[in-house]
Structure 1
C-alpha cells in the first residue's frame, strides 16, 4: 500500500475540481487530483458544448423553414442526420481535447487514478492501492443523470443526455421525459432536425421558471411548436419485441392511458450528486436529508471540518460558472485551512437555450414571495409588440422584472424571449452591481434594439415602486404543491 501525504486532496477532475486544484497550487500548497473516470469536464464531454452544437444545427434548419415569412424562399430543406451528428462529435472532441491538453500540462505526480473513499476525516483510500493523508480535502465528484432502474430495465434504448452525443445518425422518433432545461433544449433541437419528439412532464413546469405569468407564456409559446404533454405520468417503458425501439405507456391528465413506440426514450428528469460511494460516514460530517454534506455556501466548508465541497456534488446549481466559482472558493480555503474566509458568489444566472430562450437571474419570483412578501413589485413587457423583436419575427415571450419597495433596488428577473441570453447578462450585471431601477433607466438605450423591451418593463416597475406598497398578502402561487 502506497501512502501520499499532501496539503490538499481534490476528488474529481471536472470544472470544480480543476479550479480547486489550481487555487491550492497557486497558494503554494502540495495538492493531488484524484479521478476515477475519463478526463474532460462534463461541460465539454456531455453538457453545454455538445448540446449547443446540436442546437446550432437545429437553428440553421429552423431558419430555412422560417425564411418564407420574410418573402425569402429557399429550396427544399434536407437534413443529413449523419453529417449533423458527425459535426457534433467532431467539435465535441475538439473541446474535450483542449481540456486534455491542459491536464497533460499538470505534474504527473499530482494526478492519481482511482476511486477515493474516506477512511477517516482527513484520510482517503484510493482503489485499495494508495492511502492519501491530507490537511484538507475538496469533494468535487460531480453528478450523473437520473435514470430510474425500472426504465433502465428496458435496455440501451432508454438513455440519458450523455448518450445522445454518441449517436452517428438522427433517429426517427424520441420521447423526452422531463421539461427542465436539458429536456427542453434537446427535445426542441431534435424536433427542428426532423425527429418526431414528444415531451412528457409530470407537472406543468418549464425549465427553471417560477413566475406564474412567465411560466404561462412559456407554456403557450412552446406548445405552438412542440408536442408538450403536461401532467402526464410515465406508467411503464418496455423494449419492443423486435428490440428496435421502446414502448412508452403513459397516463394523461384526463386519466386516459396511451401507448406509443419510439426509437429512444431520453430521461431528462434531473441529475444526482456523486456522493454515495465516498463512505461519508468516516468523514465525520453532517449530511442533509438527501445525504449531501451540509456546507456554508460562502466558504464551501462542510461544518467546521477540513472538508470542502464544490460543483455538482454540492447539489446547488449544476452550472459550469457555479462549479468554477465554488471550486475556487473551496480550493483557496482548503489551502488556507483552518483560516477559512468567504469567497465571491455571483448573482445567480441560468439560461435555457431553447427558442425563445428562457432566463432567470437574481432572486426569482418564488424566492421573493418568501423573502420579500409584500415588499417587492414587478414590471413586465410582452415581446409580442416589441419593435425589434417584431422586425426579426421573434416577437414571442414575456419579461418580468422585480424591485424592492423603499430602496428601489433591482432584485432579479424571469423571462422567455428573443436573444434572452444577452438580456439576462445585462440584468444580472445590474443586479450584482446593486443598481436601483431608476439608475438602470438612466442608462443608454439605442433604437431599435430588444433592450428597449427591458426599458419598458423597468418603467412599469418604477411606477409601481413609486406608490405605497400594497398590504402584505401571501403569494398564492408559492404555496406547497402549487
Structure 2
C-alpha cells in the first residue's frame, strides 16, 4: 500500500472537481485529484453537449417538415439514423477530448486513479493501492441516473438511461420515456422529431421544472401536441418480451398496453456518495446519506471537508457545479480561513421546443418564502415576431415585489427562452425594478416585445406610482404588436 500526503484531496474530476483543482492550486501545489471512472465531465460525455447535438438534428428535421408553411415546398424530412448518431458521437468525442486533454495536462503527481473511500476524517483509501492523508478534502463525485427498483432486473439491456442513448449506432423504431423532467422532456421531443415512436410517461401533470400554474398548463398542452403522453399514470409495469419492452399502465382508471424497443428511465439522478463511507468522515449526513454544506463557502459544518457539484444534490447544472467547485477549492486551499462568496441568480433552461426558462425566483419559491408579489403574463401565440417565424407558442409570467417594484423572477415556455432567460436573470441579479426594465431598449420586431407586454401587465398589477414623464421612457410608448 502506497502512502501520499497532500494539503488538498479532491474526489472527482468532473466540472466541479476540475474547478476545485484550479482554485486550490492558487494556494498550494500539494493537491491530488482522485477519479475512479473515465475522464470527461458528465456535461461533455453524456449530458449537455451530446443532448444538444441530438436536439440540433431534431430541429433541422422539424424545419424541413414545416417548410411548407412558408410556401417552401419540400418532401418530408428523410432521417438517416446512422448519420445522425455518427455526428452526435463524433462531436461528443471532440468535446470530451478537450476535457481529457486538460486533465492529462496536469502534473502526474496531481492525478490518482481509483475509487476513494474514507478511512478517517483525514484519510482516504484509493483503489486498494494508496492511502491519501489530506489536510482538506473536496467531495465532487457527481451523480448517476436513478432507476426505479426492479426495472433493471426485469428488462436487462432493454432498459436504458440517458448515458446509453449517446452510444447508439442508429436510432431505434420506438422508445418509452419515463419521467417528464428536463432530461425526459428534451430527449422525448428530440427523438419524436427524428421519427422515433415515443410515449412520455409521468406521475403528475407537471412537465419540466415549471411551477407557475399558468405556464405549466401551457407547457403540458404544447408537449401533448408534440409527443404521445401519459402524464397522470398511476402505475407502470414494464416486462421483457423477447427483444421488446411491454408496458402496462393505469391511466384515468383504464388499463393500457404498448410495446417499445427500449424503456428510457429519466427518473432523476442520485448523488454519488454511497460508496464513500462517509460515516467515517466525522461529518453529518441527512436521511439519504448526503452531507449538506453552506451555499456560500461549500464547507460541511465546521469540518475541513467541502462538497460541490451534483454530489451536493442542490442544482445539477454545469455553471452551478463550476461555481461551487471554485468556491470549495479556493476555501479548501486557504483553510482554515474561509471566504463567503456571492452566488449567481438562479437560471434554468430546458432545450425543449419551445424552450423553457426559469430566471430568478420561481413561482413556488416565492410562495414558499411568503413573498408579497404580483405577477404579469403574456402569450406568445399572437406575438408579432413569433408569428413571423412560425414559432408562436408559449407563455411568460414575470414576478415583482409589491411596494418596491423590484423584479423577482420569471417562468416561461416560448421561442428563444434560452436568451430571454439570461436577460431576466441579469435583471434580477442587478436588482432592477420593473420600471427600469421597461425603460430599457426593446427593438422592433423581436420576440422580447412579448416580454415587454408581460412587464407592462406586471407594472399595472403592482400599482406603483407613475413616475414623471421626463423620467419614464416607457410611459408614452405606443403599443407595438
TM-score by length of 1: 0.95
Does residue 376 of structure 1 match 2:354? no
Quote the residue 1:64 is aligned against: 64
Q: In the alignment, is the contact (CA less than 8 A) between 1:24 and 1:334 conserved in 2?
A: yes
Secondary structure of 1:390's partner?
A: helix
* Distance (whole Å) between structure 1 residues aligned to residue 206 and residue 31 of structure 2: 43
Quick check: 2:161–2:265 contact (8 Å CA) kept in 1? yes
Partner SS state of residue 340, structure 1? coil
Matched residue, 2:118: 118
1:297 match: 295
- Give the structure 2 partner of residue 473 of structure 1: none
Task: Indicate the SS of the match to 2:353.
Answer: coil
**1:260 matched residue in structure 2:** 258
Structure 2 unmatched ranges of 5 or more: 466-481
SS of residue matched to 1:26: coil
Aligned to 1:207: 208
Whole-angstrom distance in 1 between the partners of 2:283 and 2:410: 36
Q: Secondary structure at the match of 1:428?
A: helix
Match of 1:31 in 2: 31
Match of 2:318 in 1: 320
| 1:135 alignment partner, SS class | strand
Aligned pair count?
464
SS in 2 for 1:149: coil
How far did residue 372 of structure 1 move?
3.3
Residue 161 of structure 1 is matched in structure 2 by 162
How far apart in 2 are the matches of 1:462 and 1:124?
A: 56
Q: Secondary structure at the match of 1:347?
A: coil
Structure 1 residue 260 displacement after superposition: 1.1
**Deviation digits for residues 386-435 of structure 1 (CA, Å, limit 9, x no counterpart):** 11011111111100000101121110000000011000001111111111
* Distance in 2 separating the partners of 1:426 and 1:156: 43
- Partner of 1:277, secondary structure, is helix
Shift of 1:344: 2.9
Cα distance in 2 for residues equivalent to 1:372 and 1:354: 31
Partner in structure 2 of residue 386 of structure 1? 383
Does structure 2 conserve the Cα–Cα contact (< 8 Å) formed by 1:29 and 1:335?
A: no
Taking the aligned partners of 2:357 and 2:264, their CA distance within structure 1 comes to 23
Instruction: Say yes or no: does 1:461 pair with 2:458.
Output: yes
Counterpart Cα distance in 2 of 1:60 and 1:347:
32
Q: Distance in 1 between matches of 2:76 and 2:311?
A: 47
Q: Give 1:123 deviation, angstroms.
A: 1.1
In the TM superposition, what are the counterparts of 1:164-179 in structure 2 within 5 Å? 164-179=165-180
- 1:224 corresponds in structure 2 to 225
1:49 and 1:76 map into 2 onto residues whose CA distance is 27
Looking at structure 1, the residues matched to 328 and 341 of structure 2 have their Cα atoms a distance apart, in angstroms, of: 9
Give the aligned partner of residue 432 of structure 1. Answer: 429
The equivalent of 2:247 in structure 1 is 248
Aligned to 1:14: 14
CA contact (8 A) 2:9 2:137 kept: yes
Aligned to 1:275: 273
Q: Aligned residue for 1:185?
A: 186
Give deviations 1:109-150, integer Å, cap 9, x for gaps: 110000111111111111221111111100000000011231
| Shift in Å, 1:449 | 0.3
2:133 maps to 1:142: no
Aligned residue number for residue 474 of structure 1 = none
Deviation, 1:354, is 0.4
SS in 1 for 2:342: coil
CA distance in 1, matches of 2:297, 2:287: 21
Match of 2:440 in 1: 443
Moved more, 19-28 or 163-172: 19-28
Judge conservation of contact 2:138–2:307 (CA < 8 Å) in 1: yes
C-alpha distance in 1 between matches for 2:400 and 2:228: 35
Q: Which ranges of 4 or more aligned residues in structure 1 deviate by more than 6 Å?
A: none
The DSSP-based 3-state class of the residue aligned with 2:337 is: coil
Structure 2 CA distance for partners of 1:424 and 1:382, relative to 1, 3 Å: same
How far apart, in 1, do the equivalents of 2:62 and 2:77 lie?
Answer: 10
> What SS does structure 2 have at the residue aligned with 1:247?
strand
Instruction: For residue 175 of structure 1, give the secondary structure of its aligned residue in structure 2.
Output: strand
Could you tell me how far apart the structure 2 residues matched to 1:421 and 1:237 are? 35
The answer for the alignment partner of 1:132 in structure 2 is 132
Separation (CA, whole Å) in 2 of partners of 1:76 and 1:47: 29
Which ranges of structure 1 fall in alignment gaps of 5 or more residues? Answer: 469-482
Asked if the contact 2:180–2:266 (Cα under 8 Å) also holds between the matched residues in 1, the reply is: yes
**Cα deviation code 1:54-86 (max 9, x no counterpart):** 000000000001111111111342110010001
Question: Using the alignment, how far apart are the partners of 1:302 and 1:76 within structure 2?
Answer: 56
Whether 1:196 aligns to 2:192 is: no
- How far apart, CA to CA, are the structure 1 residues paired with 2:278 and 2:313? 16
CA distance in 2, matches of 1:35, 1:213: 44
1:335 to 325, 333, 336: 333
Q: Equivalent residue of 2:345, what SS? A: coil
Tell me the distance in 2 between the aligned counterparts of 1:288 and 1:441.
45
What RMSD in Å do the two structures reach over aligned CA positions?
1.1
The 2-side partners of 1:54 and 1:234 are apart by 30
Partners of 1:234 and 1:248 within 8 A in 2: no
TM-score by length of structure 2 reads 0.95
CA-CA distance at 1:467 after TM superposition: 5.3
Contact 2:403 2:464 (8 Å CA) reproduced: no
Shift of 1:234: 4.0
